[in-house]
Structure 1
Amino acid sequence: MIFIEVIKEYFGEFEGETVWQWTLINDHGMRMSVLNYGAIVTSLETKDKFGDFANISLGFTNLDDYLAHSPYFGATLGPVAGRISKGQFSLDGKQFQLTQNEGANHRHGGKLNFSKKLWDVSVEKALEQIVMTFEYRWADGENGYPGNIDAKMTYTLNNKNEWLIDYEAQADQPTIYNPSNHIYFNLNGEVGSTVLQQQLWVNSDAFLPIDEASLPIGEIRSVEGTIFDLRAGREIAEVTQSDDQQVKLVGDGLDHAFILKHENGRPDAVLFDPKSGRRLEMETACDSVLVYTANSLAGTFEIDGKVVPKYAGITMETQGLVDAINHDGFGDIVLRPEKPFTSRTAFRFTVES
């Protein structure tokens, strides 16, 4: 019999500090390994329909690879995930300029964002779950953001085979906040393989079309009659092979935010791999999920000695709408001292025979 367990191991050194890896194991043998650097999930092991366990996320086995490459494998993004046009925004009549780390635009919180920070970590083991708590103080003015932001997250692995992410934040002056996690899933668990034969379902009637810089054009577009209609599910290969201009724009795939319907009793998105029988259900309090099909990963680095191909994984980045601060009707990502931020995303892992 397997009992809930936590294993802590040395992973490397970063700026004179130790990077640790914690491996959380639930009663069913599901394992999640996490670093204090970037709150990065390095691996997530679940079983398939044959009872065999494999890592279903993309990640490296050493710190040097995380420092050398920036695909954001398993990492926390923020303070604001996604892109902000020209790194500029207006808040309460004041103009702010954030650092520009992708051409003229600001991406994922800037160059030294949440994914590049050492977080304070505590771990609590309970009867049915393990809870990892991460805390980091983002300093006023860092990367151009106004206000000190006390960021907190918990990762919970429970005996329902769920990974729960709870985000919290407080600020001492008005600022913007819209974090996410950039884990890449590949449910077949085979290093060097693609997700093209996996099936994706998203409970969404609308998505955000983007421009050449992957920034929203300001329109909320219906999925009706387009390849973006995933309400009945589609094989990912069907999407990547589409002639839709939006699919072509990002290298033949998805890098788009879907506005979620949030219907009670239904997940917000489902990913399914017919070969392994693994099924992933996602539910979130966020307005949208950004789905990225790893269109630009092609062969620039390796995992376990195997080249990472294009379409090696797929993300479900739950967040408020991209560049919301610069578009009317895109929702509110302002964090104010009198109103702390809270949000939950749940990933649930099951098997179909």
Structure 2
Amino acid sequence: MKIDIKDLKRGWKEYTLQNDHGMAVSLLNYGGIITKAMVPDQDGKVENVMIGYKRVEDYETNPNFFGALIGPVAGRIQGAAFELDGNVYMLEANDGENHLHGGSNGFHQVLWDTEPFQDEDRVGVVLSYSRKDGEGGYPGTMDVSVTYLLTNENELILEYGAVTDQPTPLTLTNHAYFNLSGNGKETILEHQVTIDSHQFLELNEELIPTGTVVDAADTSFDFRKGRRLQDGITAQTEQNDIAGHGYDHYFLFDHSRSEMVTVKEQTSGRVLTIETDQPGMVMYTANNLQHGLDLHEGTSRKHLGVCFETQSPPASLHHDGLPPVILHPNERYQQRTVFTFSIEK
């Protein structure tokens, strides 16, 4: 196990975590952005399984949120406003009339304090940041920490923690775009995905949840027995079409098994499993990824990656009956997601 630290411009640093089995993950202190994840295939060939920019300076704006740490609230907040304890808080409308991923100055734009660590069977970096009361329109002074951890079991573990001095919305995630074919050779259409979920949130034309929880049975949203992502991308159902011919929906986990998500790519033999204590996730199939961006391996195109954004749903700010996103002063926000890479020959 080892960690390499590379100094970049204006205080940016890139940390590369390496284990003893050929896996390496690189991340920035800027935005907590994962820039690469190098993972062996069934023949031992190590390739990048995350989509990211070729030039590190392109992460400064990063409109696609490649690999970024997202917060204070991951996802869309309807009308760029919410009510809490009788007060209405107005946020930046950076996605039409709505608020997306914490706004243009969200956690993906923060230069985080970092503390690397290393021992026999794991290596990692702790990122920390103190958000001021009113920053970005959100109430409360908040101390946030996120730990990126790589183990010798090829686990990439993300541990999120936070405390606040006022009630405030908080739900954090990472916006990594996975592509198990390696080096972006193929789109994710043939990725076989299994999700421990029989319910998802219906979207309106602005990609805002309507509050309706839909039973996924016998639809292109039922991944309990596994299916190709192409099934929904080409399904031409109303909900897949609304998302730009694919998925951009919140799935509520059943928590009937330890692994919430399993992803397989047949040609490489790579398998990704996801375990989390979050109540659900947004699965996004890069439906709006524009063509022609300069990436590590070639240029971008639609459906080149798939995101598994484990989190609570911000729709709970406007609709009852959904997992909440409000953190109170006497609580500690503590969430964990584990991405494990393996081979199936």
Give the TM-score taking structure 2 as reference length.
0.98
- 1:319-343 per-residue CA deviation (whole Å, 9 max, x = no partner) reads 0023211110012111111011100
In the alignment, the residues of structure 1 paired with residue 298 and residue 124 of structure 2 have an alpha-carbon distance, to the nearest angstrom, of 33
Asked if 1:292 corresponds to 2:284, the answer is yes
1:166-315 alignment to 2 at 5 Å? 166-191=159-184, 193-264=186-257, 266-304=258-296, 306-315=298-307
Match of 1:116 in 2: 109
- Contact 1:81-1:180 within 8 A present in 2 as well: yes
Asked if 1:325 corresponds to 2:322, the answer is no
Match of 2:332 in 1: 340
- Contact 2:54-2:297 within 8 A present in 1 as well: no
- 1:198-243 per-residue CA deviation (whole Å, 9 max, x = no partner) reads 1111110100010111000110110011110011111111211102
- Contact 2:49-2:184 within 8 A present in 1 as well: no
In the alignment, the residues of structure 2 paired with residue 333 and residue 197 of structure 1 have an alpha-carbon distance, to the nearest angstrom, of 34
Alpha carbons of structure 1 residues 30 and 127: separation in structure 2 relative to 1, 3 Å:
same
In the alignment, the residues of structure 2 paired with residue 120 and residue 148 of structure 1 have an alpha-carbon distance, to the nearest angstrom, of 17
Question: How far 1:93 sits from its partner (Å)?
Answer: 1.8
Question: How far 1:192 sits from its partner (Å)?
Answer: 5.3
- 1:25-73 per-residue CA deviation (whole Å, 9 max, x = no partner) reads 0011210001000010000011000011000001124332112441111
- Contact 1:42-1:61 within 8 A present in 2 as well: no
In the alignment, the residues of structure 1 paired with residue 44 and residue 185 of structure 2 have an alpha-carbon distance, to the nearest angstrom, of 21
In the alignment, the residues of structure 2 paired with residue 152 and residue 272 of structure 1 have an alpha-carbon distance, to the nearest angstrom, of 31
Partner amino acid, structure 2, of 1:5: K
Which of 145, 148, 172 is matched with 1:155 structurally? 148
The 3-state SS of whatever aligns with 2:231 is helix
Match of 2:69 in 1: 76
Asked if 1:11 corresponds to 2:3, the answer is no
Give the ranges of 4+ consecutive aligned residues of structure 1 lying more than 4 Å apart after TM superposition.
none
- Contact 1:12-1:63 within 8 A present in 2 as well: no
Match of 2:33 in 1: 40
| Aligned length in residues | 345
- 1:123-147 per-residue CA deviation (whole Å, 9 max, x = no partner) reads 1101100121000011111111001
Question: How far 1:305 sits from its partner (Å)?
Answer: 6.7
Structure 1 gaps of 5+ residues are none
In the alignment, the residues of structure 1 paired with residue 225 and residue 297 of structure 2 have an alpha-carbon distance, to the nearest angstrom, of 37
**Alignment RMSD:** 1.2
Structure 2 gaps of 5+ residues are none
In the alignment, the residues of structure 1 paired with residue 330 and residue 150 of structure 2 have an alpha-carbon distance, to the nearest angstrom, of 31
Partner amino acid, structure 1, of 2:276: T
Question: How far 1:304 sits from its partner (Å)?
Answer: 3.8
Partner amino acid, structure 1, of 2:133: D
In the alignment, the residues of structure 1 paired with residue 175 and residue 7 of structure 2 have an alpha-carbon distance, to the nearest angstrom, of 23
The 3-state SS of whatever aligns with 1:248 is helix
- 1:228-262 per-residue CA deviation (whole Å, 9 max, x = no partner) reads 00111111112111021000111110000100011
